[in-house]
Amino acid sequence: MVFALTGARVFDGENFQDGMAVVVEGPRISHCIPERELAAGVEKQKLAGGLLVPGFIDVQVNGGGGALLNHNPSADVVKTIAGSHHRFGTVGLLPTVITDAPEVTAAAISAVRAAREQGVANVLGIHVEGPFLDPARKGAHDPQYIRGFSDDDIKSLANANCGTVMLTVAPNKVPPETIRKLVASGIRVSLGHAEANYSDVRAALDSGASSFTHLFNAMSQMTGREPGMVGTALADDRSFIGIIADGLHVHDISLKLALKATAHDRFMLVTDAMPPAAGGPDHFELQGRSVQRVNGRLQLDDGTLAGSNLTMDEAVRYCVNHLGVSLASALQMASRNPARFLGRSDLGHIAPGALASLVHFDDNLNVIQTWVEGQ
């Protein structure tokens, strides 16, 4: 099927363009041309103004629409999570399994593999967040499941066969040689949940770690004599940095300073979403512990934050309306940057050959329609 999307301003991943037609052929964009040059007979899907942008990519999604991967690691749950976030502009995501028993992690990997085999196009892989973390910065992760690495762990992750595998580890608990083995196996290693010092983090980065999991949250902070994970992340010019932009996980001033400190093309918006996100309930169980939505916060009984009820479109709006980020930068943090992190040159931009995974916004940046691979 061939059709042309017209009538909206286009953000191609770098620039805004008016009067353009985005021609879709099957799952991909065939060409982008001025609408007046569109060949006769090509079906037009006229958009009522607004903005057509590359779809969002979220590399940290625990749940949504009432579903939680840890609670029921099945292909149906993966589909529910992917479908619920699709409505809010997410065209690619990594369902995320947090620290748990080994059999739960294994089941989550199998569930993602099965969902992909069943054709769930916006599931790009899996994010395994833990259990190789530092108990001193556990956050909402259950400490009974936090443990060290074994050779079997490396083998199982390397043989996951479920798309991209992203793994969050504590750089002061997982040695550089293990990180090198993981990276050599094709795993994207991210650093987080650790009371690590500069030397620990630098060694992990030099061994191939390529990102930081939710900057400021569950990590050592920057002080005058010790940069910690936060300072090292901002000083590094190679790695990517995930941020939760919801006004709850990080103070606006801290995020503004971080955005001033380093290039915007390193930041990735993530939701860290839990079941209440994308239309889910106010309460859920996390490994037998009660989590409630209280004044927008998802928290355990002791007040510890336990993920978010954020969607990617909300994160984009928050960056623009509260953090003073330009619309272009906010959209890049939601699409192009995570696509680059994942090595997906077919996502994150609107250009010939790219996948037709797109979002149509209204003038207030509310999602009107989402396409995944032309559908």
**What pLDDT does 151 receive?**
86
| CB 22, CB 52: distance < 8 Å | yes
Same domain, yes or no, for 258 and 324? yes
Same domain, yes or no, for 72 and 206? yes
What mean pLDDT is predicted for residues 308-313?
98
Cα 254 vs. chain centroid, distance in angstroms?
A: 20
3-state class (DSSP) for residue 308:
strand
What mean pLDDT is predicted for residues 233-241?
97
Same domain, yes or no, for 228 and 365? no
Question: Per the structure block, which two tokens stand in for 332?
Answer: 């890049």
Read off the pLDDT band of 337 (50, 70, 90).
very high
3-state class (DSSP) for residue 95:
strand
Residue linked to tokens 């590359």: 54
- Count: domains in the chain: 2
CB atoms within 10 A of CB 340: 19
Same domain, yes or no, for 89 and 107? yes
Average pLDDT along the chain:
97
At 68-117, the pLDDT tens digits run 999 999 999 999 999 999 999 999 999 999 999 999 999 999 999 999 99
CATH number, position 42: 2.30.40.10
Same domain, yes or no, for 19 and 76? no
| CB 60, CB 97: distance < 8 Å | no
At 191-229, the pLDDT tens digits run 999 999 999 999 999 999 999 999 999 999 999 999 999
Same domain, yes or no, for 220 and 196? yes
pLDDT over 90 (residue 41): no
Same domain, yes or no, for 105 and 39? no
pLDDT over 90 (residue 58): yes
pTM to 2 decimal places: 0.97
Contacts 24+ apart (CB under 8 A), 258-266: 258/215, 258/216, 258/230, 258/234, 259/323, 259/325, 261/234, 262/234, 262/235, 262/237, 263/237, 264/325, 264/329, 264/332, 264/333, 265/332, 265/336, 265/337, 265/340, 266/237, 266/239, 266/240, 266/241, 266/337
pLDDT over 90 (residue 39): no
**What pLDDT does 309 receive?**
96
Clarify whether 152 is annotated catalytic.
no
What mean pLDDT is predicted for residues 135-149?
97
| Residue 31 structural domain | 2-53+351-371
Residue linked to tokens 């066969």: 161
Same domain, yes or no, for 146 and 11? no
3-state class (DSSP) for residue 9:
strand
Question: Per the structure block, which two tokens stand in for 322?
Answer: 């509260």
Same domain, yes or no, for 47 and 74? no
Catalytic residue among 134, 142, 272, 313: 272
DSSP 24-50: EETTEEEEEEEGGGPPTTPEEEE--SS
At 145-168, the pLDDT tens digits run 999 998 899 999 999 999 999 999
CATH number, position 300: 3.20.20.140
Read off the pLDDT band of 40 (50, 70, 90).
confident
| Euclidean distance between CA atoms 267 and 277, whole angstroms | 22
Same domain, yes or no, for 170 and 318? yes
Same domain, yes or no, for 225 and 171? yes
pLDDT over 90 (residue 1): no
At 345-371, the pLDDT tens digits run 999 999 999 999 999 999 999 999 999
Same domain, yes or no, for 97 and 135? yes
